[in-house]
Chain A
């Protein structure tokens, strides 16, 4: 019996109809595509009235297949599948073809666009006739969650889930949790002490009965899928027995080797070869920096081992791989600071009193290397005049075109701290002021009142080459004041560069491990930029905090909490629906050649020695199709992507093409 196909062409307001003649496509489809029973166009197919159209046609016209030409299936495939299901049609007999992202949004030529939509609709109609009814299945959700990154976003997600009663494994690369927020002195716009609001959360996580921390550890490998991931964590050797160490700190105190701390103190301070990054570190268990440890380098010393009251130092400790099973994963891997040396005209690394924003955070931190005194590199001179340069490495097509989102506010926070702690004048060189969250504009007004100078213009150069007597021994900021339209020079004592937030160097690699992608800039891609900002295209993998894009602390915390809420919902539900789009092996055709056996990225193929056939473990299959392509004899087929479906789609799209034989064989 011939299928009865319904075709629905969505205008998407003017999104599609602006460059595609939707009425013409529907009329054409009704007349030219075989087995089409109904062909309609409608303003908004995704509206309840649009869905009702489909449901009514299925009931009244007896449609057996449905094609919706509209936006991306990522957005509305579920909507239209549900509509079909409501009317009693198996949802997998509905096919969406994307004529918005693939046609109208990338094209201005209405005639060409309309023709392309005809081809796509024809392809979808031919394909849908070969689609088969499928039944989804369900897997149990493991209540444990893996959180990667112990910054504020990761901590928030961890606490929300742990407080809800679910086990959380928290993995942090550094020796302590806390992230960048632990380095800050104050937070804008309230000027709360950063440590005062962060450290309670850190210690809560450290002591929580539902949280297992893996600090100084990294994610090694992820397998499985939503509900039942298997992950491997590499616990790097810290050379201190985690269980025996009481965190008394005697080893750190007695360690004779002092090294520059490029991590936590941003190069401004020192740490020992055995160290905890900062006093409130969680856990308190130190690590040995083997590259700088006298014992590891020369075989002598062992002071830490001698002074340890609990005999916890273990020079022979090895990295350890821990395997865990979790239902969901939260990536909260944060950011790294732009390397300000890449802008040599600002002199960072060459001119002593040019600082990065992270250095300045440490400089004005009461627990920092200068105990919070704002002084020049010589360690004693208070600056008379400070320049803050915005957008260093951000909003700059040579480096990063994005806005780092926090620098305007951080710059004003710095301005406030300088004005509060010194008698210096402060100049801010900005492109645009963007204090655009709650109470931020008020903070800007406050700084204007406090006397901070705001200069709209990009700084061309910071130099120590004086031209005038008053510039002698100073740093000179060469800039254009775009409001005055003048080139100017300003001698200052200190320059602070507001370096950009950049994705972690290994963000792409981390994304690959977890099966998610990154934007061009390197930030993790969310499922939907507005409506699904913490989920990703891989079910069970969520993103939170700056790893998804530059944001301030409140936004990072909100995302951490949002990811936790999504996961809590899944755990409470107990099961998660798995698309039935999986591979299967026909045992009759399978010859047991074993070509597919080590192909599966999800380890979903097993070999049955007794029957001499390979088999797909359905619950683990993600329907990627790798084995389908590898099978040399077509014994493996991928549901919903069968050969005949794809060939039909190709034939449909070539509806107006000449048969190939006629073109090459002179009429035969």
Chain B
């Protein structure tokens, strides 16, 4: 059997997914045995122009992590899609948008204001209020920067994706299981999420009862007992709605699930599902009391229910205020 060709790429994400690949420990040697790594900028030198020269479909597997925020990322997604037989949306950012996707509640202008204006967020010195420009003329010629889009999109909103691997980041054993499945050609039907189709509760050893919640707590407010379901103790544990596969890592250490594995098959909107479930177990019939329970216990609904999935949700982003210019995505190649 000839060696397969593997590419790993990193777009709008924190880089944790890249490290997660290495967390498979010594098995990485097995990967190297089975695959030629043709492109992995984080770990080995490689040039985009070399990828461009490869014949279409010549990469067997591409693990792509990160969402699509800039024209460059968009171009790379399209390029790697074209060059790869199997494109895997790797981790939460590529699959659902994850934390970078949360900035979809803001416009590009607001994001740039937060970053480049002298403000409390970044403390950057920028007295001339300069902003990154896609084209900048300097005496030596024109400099190019990727175009920053208003909205972060997931990989599958940008190009066709064959599989996705959930997690922030995916757990080492799930990565190995996915790679094994690819090597052994035991892949699920195209489009599938590689993982189990049940939720974290299934793997969580805590004792569960009928749920009746009178008050939600934030994690710093209580020391939960280690036996009982965290949700029943008033912590917003997303485990009820989150795809299993992590062996209930967070609840095992007395911390509520934050939902990084995303939703089960068939759920169109993780946040809406979770909200509807939590709304169902609030133990009150008095509208004012219900309002109070929600407002006091869940001060950041988007960050709670859509922490990972906003870009992938039915909402996708907040409504843009009137008068905000909508960034027209130009063909990626022309933007470079």
| Chain A positions near chain B (C-beta within 8 angstroms) | 588-599, 607, 612, 626, 629-635, 643, 647, 664-668
Closest to B314 in A: A660
Residues B210 and A665 in contact, CB atoms below 8 Å apart: no
Residues A634 and B266 in contact, CB atoms below 8 Å apart: yes
Residues A591 and B200 in contact, CB atoms below 8 Å apart: yes
Residues A666 and B212 in contact, CB atoms below 8 Å apart: no
B279-311 CB mask vs A (1 if < 8 Å, else 0) is 011000000000000000000000000000000
Residues B264 and A594 in contact, CB atoms below 8 Å apart: no
| Chain B positions near chain A (C-beta within 8 angstroms) | 151, 197-202, 208-212, 229, 231, 239-241, 243-244, 263-268, 273-274, 276-277, 280-281, 317, 320, 326-329
Closest to B232 in A: A594
Bound CA span A286–B243, Å? 64
CB distance from B132 to the nearest CB of A (A): 20
Residues B266 and A668 in contact, CB atoms below 8 Å apart: no
Residues A632 and B199 in contact, CB atoms below 8 Å apart: yes
CB distance from B218 to the nearest CB of A (A): 20
Cβ 8 A contact of A634, one of B151, B229, B267, B328: B267
Closest to A630 in B: B280
CB distance from A559 to the nearest CB of B (A): 34
Of A594, A596, A633, A647, chain B has the most CB atoms within 10 Å of the CB of A633
Enumerate chain A residues within 8 angstroms of B267, measured Cβ to Cβ: 633-634
CB distance from A325 to the nearest CB of B (A): 24
CB distance from B266 to the nearest CB of A (A): 4
Residues B241 and A633 in contact, CB atoms below 8 Å apart: yes
Enumerate chain A residues within 8 angstroms of B273, measured Cβ to Cβ: 631-634
Residues B210 and A593 in contact, CB atoms below 8 Å apart: no
Bound CA span A544–B318, Å? 53
- Enumerate 24 A-B pairs (CB-CB under 8 Å) in ascending A order: A591-B244, A592-B202, A593-B208, A593-B231, A593-B240, A594-B210, A598-B211, A598-B281, A626-B280, A630-B276, A630-B277, A632-B241, A632-B273, A632-B277, A633-B198, A633-B273, A634-B263, A634-B265, A634-B266, A635-B264, A664-B317, A665-B329, A666-B327, A668-B329
A-B contact count (CB 8 A): 93
Enumerate chain B residues within 8 angstroms of A592, measured Cβ to Cβ: 201-202, 208
Cβ 8 A contact of A597, one of B210, B241, B327: B210
Cβ 8 A contact of A591, one of B199, B212, B263: B199
CB distance from A226 to the nearest CB of B (A): 26
Closest to A626 in B: B280
Residues A666 and B329 in contact, CB atoms below 8 Å apart: yes
Bound CA span A647–B263, Å? 18
Bound CA span A590–B201, Å? 9
Bound CA span A631–B199, Å? 11
Known: A630-B277, A632-B240, A665-B151. A589 touches B329 (CB 8 A): no
Bound CA span A293–B85, Å? 90
Known: A595-B277, A632-B199, A633-B198. A589 touches B326 (CB 8 A): no
Closest to B239 in A: A593
Enumerate chain A residues within 8 angstroms of B239, measured Cβ to Cβ: 593
Closest to A629 in B: B276
Bound CA span A598–B209, Å? 10
CB distance from B189 to the nearest CB of A (A): 16
CB distance from B294 to the nearest CB of A (A): 16
Of B208, B317, B328, chain A has the most CB atoms within 10 Å of the CB of B208
Residues A633 and B264 in contact, CB atoms below 8 Å apart: yes
Cβ 8 A contact of B211, one of A588, A594, A667: A594
Residues A589 and B327 in contact, CB atoms below 8 Å apart: no
Cβ 8 A contact of B277, one of A631, A647, A664, A667: A631
Residues B210 and A633 in contact, CB atoms below 8 Å apart: no
Enumerate chain A residues within 8 angstroms of B241, measured Cβ to Cβ: 632-633
Residues A667 and B328 in contact, CB atoms below 8 Å apart: yes
Known: A588-B197, A633-B263, A667-B328. A594 touches B277 (CB 8 A): no
Enumerate chain B residues within 8 angstroms of A667, measured Cβ to Cβ: 328-329
Of A589, A591, A665, chain B has the most CB atoms within 10 Å of the CB of A591
Enumerate chain A residues within 8 angstroms of B276, measured Cβ to Cβ: 629-630, 632
Bound CA span A595–B328, Å? 44
CB distance from A177 to the nearest CB of B (A): 34
Enumerate chain B residues within 8 angstroms of A594, measured Cβ to Cβ: 208-211, 229
CB distance from A99 to the nearest CB of B (A): 28
Bound CA span A530–B193, Å? 55
